[in-house]
């Protein structure tokens, strides 16, 4: 297994697309997106930054010029591989000005720490494109969050997108993963990540035979849910990719009146 998380996600998406016909289409498109994200992340890592360029061309973070130059190539990826509605939205954005792109990206970035925006095509473009940058900025911060007990991301203030159970002793240690910057932090196992409910009778957990390592964790108090990838049952799983692949569980939970805490990148 590759140590580069982007490469790991690419490989896992390919593997699961073969394994799960019900998620093949979504995973093939996600695979193209993550390939672009990987390339962007490595370009950011290799960028010289402001200290080597005495006259920055644009205001803002030193990587802004590099980022903006990659937005149109990203739109091309979506036009070539995305579902019809997103491909059409990408064409429209591509016809727009560079200023409108800057505005879209800034608006999404500035949303950090406040309530999350409703999902939609524009949100998809900003989120998918900026995720590598958010991970890049986070990897350069020396923030430590030992003892942190909240359910929102300690780095960027957004909602968790999924949970993970990692092997610990005879059981599993639960953590939450940020829906944007992919930070992971420990979180108590029997607590709703949305409303804080702690009564286990109100926190039902469901699994399905075809995906025994993915749990749907629901809350009957606030009617929210999130999916948790159980690495004690499948050590080969990649939490982000396996969460996306488990489409039938989202449909199942939503049919029963539960709303997801935060949709994943594929808007599910
Ligand atoms: Zn975050
Ligand atoms: Zn709740």
CA of 153 to the centre of ligand 1 (A): 5
SS (H, E, C) 168-237: ECCEEEEEEEECCCCCEEECCCCCCCCCCCCCHHHCCEEEECCEEEEEEEECCCCCEEEEEEECCCCCCC
Average confidence (pLDDT) over 208-229: 97
What mean pLDDT is reported for the chain?
91
Over the stretch 92-144, which tens digit does the pLDDT of each residue have? Answer: 999 999 999 999 999 888 875 445 556 678 889 999 999 999 999 998 888 77
- CA–centroid distance, residue 49 to ligand 2 (Å): 43
| 97 or 59, higher pLDDT | 97
Given a contact cutoff of 8 angstroms between Cβ atoms, the answer to whether 249 and 227 are in contact is yes
Q: What is the distance in A from the centroid of ligand 2 to the CA of 36?
A: 35
The whole-number pLDDT of residue 61 equals 73
Q: Is the pTM higher than 0.85?
A: yes
Distance 204 CA to ligand 2 centre (A): 11
Instruction: Give the pLDDT confidence score for residue 3 in this predicted structure.
Output: 82
Q: What is the pLDDT of residue 115?
A: 52
Ligand number nearest to the C-alpha of 259: 2
CA of 174 to the centre of ligand 2 (A): 17
- Residue 58 CA: distances (Å) to CA of 51, 214, 258: 14, 44, 45
Cα 223 to ligand 2 centroid, rounded to whole Å: 6
Q: How far is the CA of 73 from the centre of ligand 2 (A)?
A: 40
Contacts of 11 (CB under 8 A, 6+ apart): 1, 2
């Amino acid at each position: 297994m590759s140590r580069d998380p982007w490469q790991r996600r690419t490989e896992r998406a390919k593997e699961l697309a073969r394994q799960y016909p019900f998620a093949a289409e979504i995973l093939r498109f996600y695979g193209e997106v993550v390939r672009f994200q990987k390339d962007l992340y490595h370009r950011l890592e290799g960028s010289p930054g402001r200290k080597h360029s005495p006259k920055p061309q644009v205001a803002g973070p030193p990587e802004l010029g590099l980022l903006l130059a990659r937005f149109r190539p990203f739109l091309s990826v979506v036009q070539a591989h995305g579902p019809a509605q997103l491909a059409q939205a990408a064409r429209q954005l591509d016809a727009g000005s560079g200023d409108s792109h800057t505005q879209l990206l800034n608006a999404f970035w500035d949303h950090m720490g406040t309530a999350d925006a409703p999902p939609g095509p524009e949100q998809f473009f900003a989120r998918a494109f900026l995720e590598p940058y958010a991970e890049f900025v986070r990897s350069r911060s020396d923030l430590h969050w030992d003892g942190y007990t909240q359910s929102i991301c300690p780095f960027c203030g957004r909602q968790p997108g999924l949970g993970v159970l990692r092997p610990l002793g005879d059981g599993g240690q639960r953590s939450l993963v940020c829906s944007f910057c992919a930070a992971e932090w420990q979180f108590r196992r029997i607590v709703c990540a949305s409303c804080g409910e702690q009564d286990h009778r109100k926190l039902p957990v469901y699994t399905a035979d075809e995906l025994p390592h993915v749990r749907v964790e629901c809350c009957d108090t606030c009617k929210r849910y999130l999916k948790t990838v159980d690495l004690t049952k499948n050590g080969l799983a990649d939490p982000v990719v396996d969460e996306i692949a488990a489409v039938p569980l989202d449909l199942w939970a939503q049919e029963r009146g539960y709303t997801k805490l935060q949709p994943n990148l594929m808007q599910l």
